[in-house]
Amino acid sequence: MAKLHSVRLNEDKCVGCTNCIKKCPTEAIRVRNGKARIAEERCIDCGECIKVCPHHAKSAEMDTLNALKAFRYTIALAAPSLYAQFGAPATRPMVLAALLNIGFDDVYEVAIGAEVVTKGTCDYLPQARSSSQLPLISSACPAVVRVIQEKYPGLIDNLVPFDSPMEVTAELARRDALARTNLKSQEIGIFFISPCPAKRTAVTNPIGNRPTQVDGVLSIAEIYPQILAKLEKINPDQVEACEQRILADATGVGWGASGGEAMGLQTEKYLVVDGIHNVIDILEEIENERLRDIEFIEANSCMGGCIGGPLTVANRFSAKSRMNRYIQEALVFEADHQDLVYKPDREVIRPWFDMPQANNALTLDPDIFKALEKYEQMEKITHQLPGLDCGACGAPDCAALAEDIVRGLAVESDCIFKLKERIRSVAAQMSELEFEMNRHSKPAEGEKEHGHT
């Protein structure tokens, strides 16, 4: 069965503190009965809730190295952000050799697929210009694509219509392995080493239902200690063999950090944005046609780009500094070994046949008139709520509680202020009633006197 999401809640660890509800960019989390709940249809697997939960109640469900056993030949796909986890003296060939030592039969740099996508985007830009379909928005970050599907479906046609570097690299790796090994496709297992849960969801629940060439996704955090252990006693011959492989150029390696993708394009009219809440602000600007002078938007859900992913190990600032070193080394390598540098001109990247579809999770009703009615109702309830956006009701703000009420998922008294108001009014009514009852049960003055005689 297809797995819709990779981000999971461990109920036993959740204390219902509500820290996560305000950070979720799609308001997918509610705390009810003291536990967080994720609305699957809204979650974009950005991993923000993993980063903010102080009780580690949110995690990503990823594949493990055990999954390799199901295949006769396994290939690791090394993301550029993986390199940035390792400081000097580690080099790219050393990290690739370490992956082979862990048990993979072969290894590919995802930076190679990034080069192919860069070339495809450069070639596509004139077409986008002539059809006024600007700005183009990078489709490399699956969390960004999903937020567009959910909150800004009008911008779907602005997405760069190519598979991600992970998919492109997987396709190249499988094609080469089939030619080299005489094995059947199902005997070859391709594993991406990922900085984020969104990439795994892109495999288990592909955007636009496109077939994937990736068989499993492991987290950088899980594999990091093993790579580190292998790097400490790496065999120089293996490193030398990896140095003789075709390696990606600096353009591809640069994709690991925010700004790297845009740097490779042939336009200066680009904008780079990172952090999912900042991305949403920029998408809002595009929708309001305030970015007409921009041709390309590089948008990454994580701060700093993939090096800031929730499944990485290194602090994103030190990772950024390391990334710069790897880029410099790639430039030197390019200058010295033109014959060993990957040339993306060999590949023709095909645009998507179908663009991704809108996700209607935020629609109040499929019937437009009913939806408008519900929207008005929601606005009315929002104005009746205290407007403190305190989160005590388990929804991120008063508007979200109003939406839940309209959807039949909550009631007004979930708001503690409304509940207090209600209790106060019931108490006042009761004391009035009590007063009236006492008044009626007391004998009249004349009756009293009569009784004493």
Task: Pick from 17, 362, 392, 409 the residue near ligand SF4 by CB under 6 A.
Answer: 17
- Inter-residue contact 87 to 203 (CB < 8 Å): no
d(CA 138, CA 136): 7
Query: Applying CB under 6 A, does 30 fall inside the site for ligand SF4?
Result: no
Query: Applying CB under 6 A, does 24 fall inside the site for ligand SF4?
Result: yes
| Residue 265: C-alpha distances to residues 102, 167, 271, 272, 325 (Å) | 35, 20, 12, 12, 21
Task: Pick from 2, 41, 55, 369 the residue near ligand SF4 by CB under 6 A.
Answer: 55
> Which of residues 125 and 299 has its CB atom nearest to ligand SF4 in the complex?
299
Query: Applying CB under 6 A, does 361 fall inside the site for ligand SF4?
Result: no
Which residues lie below 8 Å from residue 147, measured CB to CB, with a gap of 6+? 25, 26, 44, 46, 276, 279, 280, 283, 301
Stretch that binds ligand SF4, among 13-21, 327-335, 367-375, 435-443 (CB under 6 A): 13-21
- Inter-residue contact 168 to 113 (CB < 8 Å): yes
Query: Applying CB under 6 A, does 406 fall inside the site for ligand SF4?
Result: no
Stretch that binds ligand SF4, among 48-56, 71-79, 98-106, 311-319 (CB under 6 A): 48-56
Query: Applying CB under 6 A, does 99 fall inside the site for ligand SF4?
Result: no
Task: Pick from 30, 48, 273, 344 the residue near ligand SF4 by CB under 6 A.
Answer: 48
Instruction: In angstroms, give the least distance from the CB of 60 to ligand SF4.
Output: 9
Q: What is the residue whose two structure tokens read 């830009």? A: 125
Task: Pick from 30, 45, 79, 164 the residue near ligand SF4 by CB under 6 A.
Answer: 45
d(CA 435, CA 263): 78
Instruction: In angstroms, give the least distance from the CB of 24 to ligand SF4.
Output: 3
Sort residue 45 into left (φ over 0), alpha (ψ -120 to 50) or beta. Answer: left
> Which of residues 38 and 247 has its CB atom nearest to ligand SF4 in the complex?
38
Query: Applying CB under 6 A, does 38 fall inside the site for ligand SF4?
Result: yes
Query: Applying CB under 6 A, does 62 fall inside the site for ligand SF4?
Result: no
| Residue 238: C-alpha distances to residues 110, 112, 230, 234, 235 (Å) | 20, 21, 12, 8, 5
Enumerate the H helices of 193-263 as residue ranges. 197-204, 220-232, 236-243, 250-253, 260-263
Query: Applying CB under 6 A, does 102 fall inside the site for ligand SF4?
Result: no
Taking CA 380 as the corner, what is the angle to CA 375 and CA 383, rounded to the nearest 5 degrees?
A: 125
> What letter would DSSP give residue 41?
T
Query: Applying CB under 6 A, does 57 fall inside the site for ligand SF4?
Result: yes
Task: Pick from 2, 3, 47, 77 the residue near ligand SF4 by CB under 6 A.
Answer: 47
d(CA 296, CA 298): 7
Query: Applying CB under 6 A, does 419 fall inside the site for ligand SF4?
Result: no
Residues at the contact surface with ligand SF4, assessed by CB under 6 A: 7, 9, 14-20, 24-26, 28-29, 31, 36, 38, 43-49, 53, 55, 57-58
